[in-house]
Chain A
């Protein structure tokens, strides 16, 4: 067996946190992790947020983000402990031997510099190549990664290329200095599912062709199964399980791994439409002020009481704009909306209080949807006061009822949002929406920012509440697994139009239109070789056409 390229032993990482009103204290983020990575191999690091994946990845470059500090253990790269090496050597390592691909290429590229300059910078600075050599190599990598116009794309600025293209440029940036190891930190998480599959394939090919080793960090087991040789499952800074990809996916040993593999196991039988829909959206067309194109084109959908309509599509397809039109934030230029038998006025300001009360919203970022200086009790109590005029003991009783409904129980009333976990915050937002006794709740990507297991809990809660309160959901999401779990009917949106609409079983059964087919087949499946299968299938189809 060859010597490992990366050898991590007893790695401990800590940080100092500054809780409001308390003394700063040190916490451990990673408690003693061991692993090896052989040259040319790919190790997937998987876990939920807070598991320490990124922290471990950056530790292989002797880097701590923010106040994070490596407190113990050793990290050997090519046989040399980089935690004990002088800083000058660490700088040689960064950008030379080990490089990094971040989650958000859009933020990780300097907006003021051309792409080529940034892609070749490390290779030139580390004296790996001359400028001409580095640029030739960059063009070669652009071509290999399937970027359009590889000769000239380097002269563009980051804002001039799309998100998926920029993520590939970031991969080129990491591969340009011919490193021994690349740390991929959630490189496809921020991308649309149809873009993700192409970037994933490009990264996989690039890893294979250049023979570089990689740490592939993600929270999505189905994604990591496509690229890695081994997988390490992490939970709260400790290793849960380590094995070959095949073993982790097909024969997980630990309960936590099993839970990750079988996530999204909710079974939901679709309900039949009733006689009168609670929400009728008819031929809605809308555009934003000062623009000259329609963001929504002739949208017509229905939603029945106590049911869920999933609106699914990529970013920019107009999903959230539809929500803005229904809530009255963006008056449409044509069409009308009927809610519970009444025609809704286009503009929010002219709607009666009952229309406002019966139509509530829950947002993607629970963090920013709550006033950080109000307690949970105040946040949930506000709609009770505003819509029902509840006060004193009566209000307290209702708040506690709502907290029980969202399974948070006693003691949460006095807490502030900052003291809650991501899942708990989203539950409080759900309680706030429920407090108004709405007939319809618009859920805008409510589980997208959450870890899979937490998201699962939220979806189960939403279904449970729907059964009990007979509330309808307009569920906006880009995630098809979520759609399967919760929807009764589905509207697929593409570039401002509904391209497919019907009951869940109709929409998800063939024959498909081209876009729905692309969308459905792009969702990573938790099996080995899925990526190759899909790409082969697509190639055959396009050859057949």
Chain B
């Protein structure tokens, strides 16, 4: 089993390197020129040439790739071309904001989704199951900015419970921050709930067909106990997989929600710099998003391996 785990880890690492190459190559072939962007249309050719040399844009691509990769490995993501600020510093703050938001959304959404999934199995084809399915499907079908604006109108304006703009800064206490992000957290929860809940339901229902569930029923065990003790442990792998995909979405896919709530996270940072053609920032953000995706899916794989009794307890 150890071998299998190491194999997966190595594979994840290889994937990350491939992604870094892809990101680098991708941003290379994008049209447009940063120097032109910075200096504007009226710049003289000499000024453009000087700036290009200064930014290292004239080096061969391979050299620039290894310079870039070496920088990343030492924690230096370079400087933003447009603002001249250190990308590492900017991203550090933005990423921690994004993770803060994702964390609290996950803390609420994951247990809730699994609980609702279990409940849906327990009352399969009866009204609680149908209600849960209908509500979660509705929330996933409505675009997240729409839910965002509806909730702002309803919770922030009508009821006045939480602020409509999620601006946070270092000076705020955790409670103040939580108060600020309450509405976006609800939006994100509603968006990711359905996927996880439906997978939990499907995975457990699949297991419920097994002969060992009948054995448990014939022991006189109650339904909830059967689901918890006999079905759930055998359904962990598919559930963890979909949970991890959704966690990745919470980090990577929240651009729209961040914009709606003017939240100072990674998404907004990325969008800003894409429009300015600030290649090093885009590359850094892309790499971090890829790392999050690969990392979380790697965890899902590892959990699948670790929860498989045949791999955990070989003959």
Contact = CB atoms under 8 A, between A and B. Distances in A.
Interface of A: 61, 63, 65, 90-96, 99-100, 102, 104, 107-113, 118, 121-122, 125-126, 156-157, 159-160, 173
Contacts of B309: 111-112, 157, 159
Interface in B172-217: 210-212, 214-217
23 contacts: A63-B217, A91-B220, A91-B221, A94-B220, A100-B215, A102-B211, A102-B214, A107-B211, A107-B212, A110-B212, A111-B309, A111-B310, A112-B233, A112-B234, A113-B230, A121-B216, A121-B219, A156-B313, A157-B309, A157-B310, A159-B309, A160-B315, A173-B215
Interface in B47-94: none
Contact of A109 (B215, B217, B229): B215
Nearest to A121: B219
Contacts of A63: 217-218
Contacts of A99: 218-219
Closest 4 CB pairs of A and B: A95-B219, A107-B211, A122-B219, A94-B220
A348 to B, nearest CB: 31
Contacts of A90: 220
Contact of A94 (B219, B229, B310, B313): B219
B303 to A, nearest CB: 13
Contacts of B32: none
Contacts, number: 76
With most chain A CB atoms within 10 A of its CB, the pick from B211, B234, B315 is: B211
Contacts of B218: 61, 63, 94-95, 99-100
A177 to B, nearest CB: 8
Nearest to B222: A91
Nearest to A61: B218
A126 B315 contact: no
Contact of B211 (A95, A108, A118, A157): A108
Nearest to A155: B313
Nearest to B212: A110
B212 A109 contact: yes
Interface in B293-310: 307, 309-310
A461 B201 CA distance: 49
Interface centre among B212, B217, B233, B310 (most CB of A within 10 A): B212
A392 B155 CA distance: 73
Interface string B229-256: 1100110000000000000000000000
B306 to A, nearest CB: 12
Interface size class of B (residues with CB under 8 A): 20 to 34
Contacts of B229: 113
B314 to A, nearest CB: 8
B233 A113 contact: yes
Q: Is the interface of B mostly helix, strand, loop or mixed?
A: helix
A114 B212 CA distance: 13
B245 to A, nearest CB: 23
A401 to B, nearest CB: 43
B219 A159 contact: no
Given A94-B219, A100-B215, 10 more contacts: A91-B220, A93-B220, A94-B220, A95-B220, A102-B215, A107-B211, A112-B234, A113-B230, A121-B221, A125-B221
Contacts of B234: 110-112
B229 to A, nearest CB: 8
Nearest to B209: A66
Nearest to B231: A110
Residue from A96, A104, A110 having most chain B Cβ neighbours under 10 A:
A110
Nearest to A122: B219
Contacts of B233: 110, 112-113
A96 B214 contact: no
A125 B6 CA distance: 41
B212 A96 contact: no
Q: Which of B211, B218, B230, B313 has the most chain A CB atoms inside 10 A of its CB?
A: B218
A94 B226 CA distance: 14
Contacts of A126: 219-220
Contacts of A160: 313, 315
Nearest to B221: A125
| Most A C-beta atoms less than 10 A away, residue of B210, B214, B222, B233 | B214
A122 B212 contact: no
A102 B212 CA distance: 10
Contact of A125 (B214, B220, B315): B220
Contacts of A93: 220
A108 B216 CA distance: 9
A118 B210 CA distance: 15
A173 B233 CA distance: 20
A108 B313 contact: no
Given A110-B234, A157-B309, A159-B309, A125 B217 contact: no
A96 B211 contact: no
A100 B219 CA distance: 8
A122 B214 CA distance: 13
